[in-house]
Structure 1
Amino acid sequence: MIVERAYAHLSSYDEDVWPWSVPCVRQLIEEGLRFTAPVTFLVGENGSGKSTLVEALAEGFGLDSYGGSHDWRYASPRGKSALGERMRFDAAPRGRRMATSWAARKGFFLRAETALDALGREGLSPDSVSHGEGFLAAFRGKFLHTGLYVLDEPEAALSFASCLELIGHIDRLAKEGGQVVCATHSPLLTALPGADIVEVGDHGMRRVAWRELGVVDHWRRYLADPHAYLRHILDA
């Protein structure tokens, strides 16, 4: 483990103002988020705050919110987010130097919206490959060091088979001493054995088993009978 707990201390904040209005952010401030396994998945609906959390985690660790590896000093033109500026960590022994020293820091932040630009900055020539192949190039070429890897919906550009390859990369990193925190909608990724799953929503954050995830239940029922869903959406 690199990081054991993430938290953000504020003496006061306005609960009606974003991001403090997001339930999972308020819970982070009040309780923090403990990491109990080398791989943690944050799962929730659009707007639940999972991307806000992972971006702040990356920023707090010193990774550029634009995306990229530990090789890049912070360069995002918009600066750190309000939550990212306040993010702090209880680091495991192997992560203490990484959390405080740029020279010792190892890791990567991948966010779906800016991934191709960030990969180009990393020298991976994404214009010469498909979107999904660009993501896979990052996994193969940058997921190499023992460090903290923060991913925001990496499945966005990936096929079923490519998601399975990503699971293999994540598992290898974890077994070699790395740590992965991933925001996702994917029932494929979250099925990784031994991963900790945190469901994010109006309730804040809570740990759930894979089979109890709402997204798993919806995919199971949709694949069994698509019409049961589509009849409520499509015109008669």
Structure 2
Amino acid sequence: MVYVKRLILKRDRITQWDKYPYCLPVLRQFESLSFSKPVTFLCGENGSGKSTLLEAVAVGYGFNPEGGSRNFRFSTQDSHSPLYRDITLVKAPYSPHDGYFLRAESFYNVSTEVDHLAAVDPATRERFLQQYGGSLHEQSHGESFFSLILNRFRGQGFYLLDEPESALSPSRQLALLARMRQLVQGGSQFIIATHSPILMGYPDADIYLIEDGELTLTPYERTEHYIITKQFLGNRQRMLQELFEGQDFTT
């Protein structure tokens, strides 16, 4: 199931290409991005713009910039870019029954808001928290991350994840793949910004690689994330030797 089919940049509205985020190389030639499969990955180096694009989709769709569902309206600090104002999201004629924007960098703020909402009515506090597997602050970072995905993601949903691997061990990343499979089979769509070669291994997903200012649909085995990880695991000693001999750590 695909609920958002395309992102279109309104280039005629942009007048300051030297200002962030429009100064990002990926946006210089960017016109549109298609989502044709239930799972789409955005990958690239730090600062390439993958999280910026994901954030624009999230805010443009109506999610809170810091994360949460479309009903979350809290704000601790407005740090999101104005890119969402200059995009059009082409949506399917049908709507999801659920949705969530999960971003690693502001997950603490979301957890705090969940506890705040639960405390509004003491009579329903426990029932409300059950939707998240309990208070997220009373679990480890990784446990709370996975607990939210396992319990709060109900299916037939539109889910945006920004670097979810930052809180998950390799085994939990594999568990996330299994959970994603369940949700996709139940009619969900995922768009994920990630560095994880484990998550990008999801079968039949579209992987968009941002590299040298270009956004390219790339086979899994041709991503740098896969290539470097495979080389390191297969030739660890040699790669470490070359790395250490070629790097001056004293400067």
TM-score by length of structure 1 reads 0.88
Q: Secondary structure at the match of 1:16?
A: coil
Q: In the alignment, is residue 130 of structure 1 matched against residue 122 of structure 2?
A: no
- Write the deviation string for residues 70-113 of structure 1: whole angstroms up to 9, x where unpaired: 33236464175210222321111113xx6xxxxxx731111111
* In structure 1, distance between residues paired with 2:46 and 2:241: 23
Match of 1:81 in 2: 81
1:33 aligns with 2:43: no
| 8 Å CA contact 1:110, 1:150 repeated in 2 | yes
CA distance in 2, matches of 1:188, 1:61: 28
Task: Count residues in correspondence.
Answer: 226
Q: Distance in 2 between matches of 1:138 and 1:162?
A: 13
Task: Give the letter aligned to residue 111 of structure 2.
Answer: L
Mapped contact 2:111–2:136 kept (Cα < 8 A): yes
Q: Which has the larger radius of gyration?
A: 2
Aligned to 1:65: 65
Matches of 1:59 and 1:176, distance apart in 2:
24
Q: Per the alignment, do residues 56 and 168 of structure 1 end up closer, same or farther by CA in structure 2, a change over 3 Å counting?
A: same
SS at match of 2:88: strand
CA shift in 2, pair 1:88/1:148, >3 Å = same
Displacement after TM superposition at 1:227 (Å): 2.8
Distance in 2 separating the partners of 1:164 and 1:49: 26
Identify unmatched segments of 5+ residues in structure 2: 116-133
Give the aligned partner of residue 49 of structure 2: 49
Q: Residue in 2 aligned with 1:208?
A: 218
| Counterpart position of 1:101 | none
Distance 1:84 1:7 in 2: 10
Contact 2:55 2:80 (8 Å CA) reproduced: no
Counterpart among 179, 186, 189 of residue 179 in structure 1: 189
Contact 2:74 2:113 in 1 (8 A): no
Q: How do 1:51-200 residues align onto structure 2 when only pairs under 5 Å count?
A: 51-73=51-73, 75=75, 77-78=77-78, 81-95=81-95, 106-123=98-115, 124-200=134-210
Alpha-carbon displacement from aligned partner over 1:124-147 (angstroms, at most 9, x marks no partner)? 422221110010111012211422
Q: Say whether the 8 Å CA contact 1:13–1:20 is kept in structure 2.
A: no
Greater shift in the superposed pair: 183-192 or 76-85: 76-85
CA distance in 1, matches of 2:76, 2:108: 15
Q: Which deviates more from structure 2 when the two are superposed, residues 17-26 or residues 174-183? A: 17-26
Q: Which amino acid aligns with 1:7?
A: I
2:8 aligned partner? 7
Which secondary structure does the structure 2 equivalent of 1:150 belong to? strand
Q: What is the alpha-carbon distance in structure 2 between the residues aligned to residue 79 and residue 225 of structure 1?
A: 41
Stretches of structure 1 lacking an aligned partner (at least 5 in a row): 99-104
SS at match of 2:102: strand
Q: Which TM-score applies when normalising by structure 2?
A: 0.83
| Inter-partner Cα distance in structure 2 for 1:169 and 1:119 | 21
Contact 2:21 2:81 in 1 (8 A): no
Query: What amino acid is aligned across from residue 191 of structure 1 in structure 2?
Result: G
Judged with a 3 Å threshold, the aligned counterparts in structure 2 of structure 1 residues 59 and 74 are, in CA distance, closer, same or farther, namely farther
Residue 14 of structure 1 deviates from its aligned partner by 3.2
Deviation per CA, 1:166-221: give whole Å up to 9, x if none: 11222222222211100001111111111111101223210011111111000000
**Letter in structure 1 aligned against 2:211:** G
